Structure 1
């Protein structure tokens, strides 16, 4: 689909959940764009490429779905665990669209609304912030929930308070997993994602405060992170951006989580030796060196920072059998794998690692102008990135060319996107 082509039908846009990567990312981005633009969507065969019983909606997916449904006064169908289909019809919070349109359609209960609505905090009669909480009963990835709601938080104008000239900061606390297998960690959020958004996309700094770690390895634990978000002004359009010319490797940030000081020291020594062998002039920093609380919790993140301010991250939450392996062997295996992955990223010469590619797609689609991200030479876009581009094209009509450049929509904060599309809201 080429850029700027919009459907003119109020019928929900259908998205086949088995397309390309066929996992939860397709659902998250579709919900994010639907909430922001009030375009209704229908996702079928949700997570259809996940084997057997793990397909369909998980409780961790529902946390984001419920929050967005309540924040946008949406009506839904299929909003339950294991559901393989979801219909999501958002509206403005003032619109009287929470009346059920069908017997199977979900309308939020008062208890569910409390999970998603804002609480306004006052000091001496002046509102100082607007805050919300998103709970999960399992250590589902906090970053993946943030990924689903962040565009809405930034661009929906929810910081604007009627009758008040100033905008109020937003504070969102998400309870779930901070260190989860096959998901970005709180360290990755803080050291890669958030710095790139603020330093390269002109988005005000988002502050992540870790209250408690949530683990999927060892004894299952639920963690908590609060994100403080400065509002974007009404009608603000994200400037176009070009991620090119990565620059030279300047420093590497090393974050280590392990059960004992001896293990952390061993990992530190092995990583330091491998980094200096790779580049003797490299500056090495250790922002996190922390006890993990379990011998089954070993984690390492390496973040390469370049002279032009780009950050390339690779990590591993150790998820293999540890029986029969000495501490030194475990540390060697962890350090060598992450170092090998980082070297591979650096050889490509791109400005972002493979985990950041797909997270930038939504910002490319919303920005004003042609936005581009250099992912490196001889490197195809990841399947997650291709999936994100497909969703943005299907829902917004944003077009991506063969090298991943996107002619953004120039979406303005607080914009009534329905007027641009020429479609009145359902009532």
Structure 2
């Protein structure tokens, strides 16, 4: 067996991203690891239900030997076996994020021997996690630039507490991930002017007034630069078609289409947060990204680090570097011989290189 890698879960932001990156790299490279101080940077440290779901899904994919996979555990041992591509169904439980679980299990399947179909039930639009549209419309097309073919569908949305959403990703793997010309050019060159802007407003089992106020906020003079109109905003409430979730929920998403593809910005409604605040946060993030002229959105950046590490290195230009991205870079350097290099670009962006 290869030497066990020690991962300190307190490094950097000390959150769950460190665990997800370690699981993905461990399965992909066949490297066992031991993690201590799991989620030490959080108010309630240790493994929660969301993180246990990631560990157990990863263990099922590769027949791993696992120790410490229990609630509130602050230490975990994970020794992967051979990866087994195929059809899997994973349940996060409650409103735990389906897209965060996919962050842990998707990277090794990108270069598996055979195709896979992964269905995850849980939250599709929950706080502190990428919404489904970001994964399907922004992340997966970037990953396809490295070789695999990917398709994602959402049969039902799911929100905080109750969850019940369902997401399926079909993976046609590549022989190897490649940091090629297509990825390199898109990852370093400015995205150029916005070609089209759209917005989605999810408002299930909620008063119509909430969606109306969010639409009005998106169309306000403050966000006129986005170029939204009545015809470019779609309200999804279950009464105008589409599946209805098990519980009430609200989310606002703004989609910018540019020459590199689509970048999605989402904000989730919460009790005590006004409709104007929810819509305003999504719109502000979209405007900041557009004004930055960075090709890689800051939350996309952390999700590209593990695939780039598996490709043997690469680089991209992003907005302000997030703690999640720094954590992924630190974990990648533990599992590979690659080291991160960070260089400012025009004082507002960062060139991230793994080599």
Which TM-score band applies after superposition, normalised by the shorter structure? 0.7 to 0.9
Aligned counterparts of 2:210 and 2:233: Cα–Cα separation in 1: 15
- How far off is 1:366 after superposition? 1.9
1:148-169 Cα offsets, whole Å, 9 max, x none, are 0111111232x1xxxxxxxxx3
1:213 alignment partner, one of 149, 154, 157: 157
1:289 alignment partner, one of 233, 236, 246: 236
1:175 alignment partner, one of 121, 127, 131: 121
Match of 2:346 in 1: none
- How far off is 1:270 after superposition? 3.2
1:75-95 Cα offsets, whole Å, 9 max, x none, are 1221212111011111226xx
Aligned counterparts of 1:283 and 1:401: Cα–Cα separation in 2: 44
**CA, structure 1 residues 187+290, in 2 after alignment: closer, same or farther (shift >3 Å)?**
farther
- How far off is 1:228 after superposition? 1.5
TM, length-normalised to structure 1: 0.72
Aligned counterparts of 1:211 and 1:281: Cα–Cα separation in 2: 27
TM, length-normalised to structure 2: 0.85
1:399 alignment partner, one of 334, 339, 349: 339
Aligned counterparts of 2:34 and 2:223: Cα–Cα separation in 1: 51
Give SS of 1:402's match.
strand
- How far off is 1:295 after superposition? 10
1:356-392 Cα offsets, whole Å, 9 max, x none, are 1100101221225x5221114xx3x111111100000
Aligned counterparts of 1:293 and 1:263: Cα–Cα separation in 2: 17
Aligned counterparts of 1:295 and 1:48: Cα–Cα separation in 2: 32
RMSD of aligned alpha carbons: 2.6
2:281 alignment partner, one of 326, 337, 351: 337
1:264 alignment partner, one of 208, 211, 221: 211
> 5+ residue gaps in structure 1?
1-8, 94-116, 119-129, 160-168, 323-329, 408-427
2:324 alignment partner, one of 367, 381, 384: 384
Aligned counterparts of 1:284 and 1:275: Cα–Cα separation in 2: 19
Match of 2:260 in 1: 309
**CA, structure 1 residues 214+289, in 2 after alignment: closer, same or farther (shift >3 Å)?**
closer
Aligned counterparts of 1:227 and 1:16: Cα–Cα separation in 2: 31
Match of 2:88 in 1: 132
- How far off is 1:350 after superposition? 0.8
Match of 1:55 in 2: 45
Q: Which has the larger radius of gyration?
A: 1
Matched-pair contact (CA < 8 Å) for 1:178–1:185:
yes
Matched-pair contact (CA < 8 Å) for 1:311–1:352:
no
1:202-253 Cα offsets, whole Å, 9 max, x none, are 431x222222222115xx2322211122232x4x342333212211111112
- Please, which moves more after superposition, 130-139 or 387-396? 130-139
1:351 alignment partner, one of 292, 295, 298: 295
Matched-pair contact (CA < 8 Å) for 1:133–1:174:
yes
- How far off is 1:274 after superposition? 4.4
**CA, structure 1 residues 281+254, in 2 after alignment: closer, same or farther (shift >3 Å)?**
closer
2:252 alignment partner, one of 292, 300, 316: 300
**CA, structure 1 residues 135+305, in 2 after alignment: closer, same or farther (shift >3 Å)?**
same
Is 1:374 aligned to residue 309 of structure 2?
A: no
Give SS of 1:401's match.
strand
1:67 alignment partner, one of 57, 69, 80: 57
2:200 alignment partner, one of 251, 255, 280: 255
Q: How many residues align?
A: 335
1:142 alignment partner, one of 98, 104, 112: 98
Match of 2:348 in 1: none
